[in-house]
Amino acid sequence: MKAQEIRDMSAEEQVHQLAETQKELFNLRMQQAAGQLEKPDRIRLLRRDIARLKTILNTATAAR
């Protein structure tokens, strides 16, 4: 997910997307612990998306 895509979302959509991404990351970590993870690179991508979402949410909150 690109930063511009996140900025184009409303604040509620951003929060929802953050929650969904965190859930997906949790599920992938459980799969990894069980040895069933097929795409280990997906974890890295999700962590970066979470960081982007949090950064943009924090910047928008600080600007208010």
Average pLDDT over the chain reads 94
Q: Which residues of 5-37 are buried (b: 16+ CB within 10 A; e: fewer)?
A: ebeeeeeeebeebbeebeeebeebeebeeeeee
The domain made up of 3-63 is a member of CATH 2.40.37.10: no
Cα-Cα end-to-end distance for the chain: 25
pTM for the complete prediction? 0.90
pLDDT digit string, tens, across residues 33-64: 999 999 999 999 999 999 999 999 998 888 76
Predicted pLDDT at 61: 81
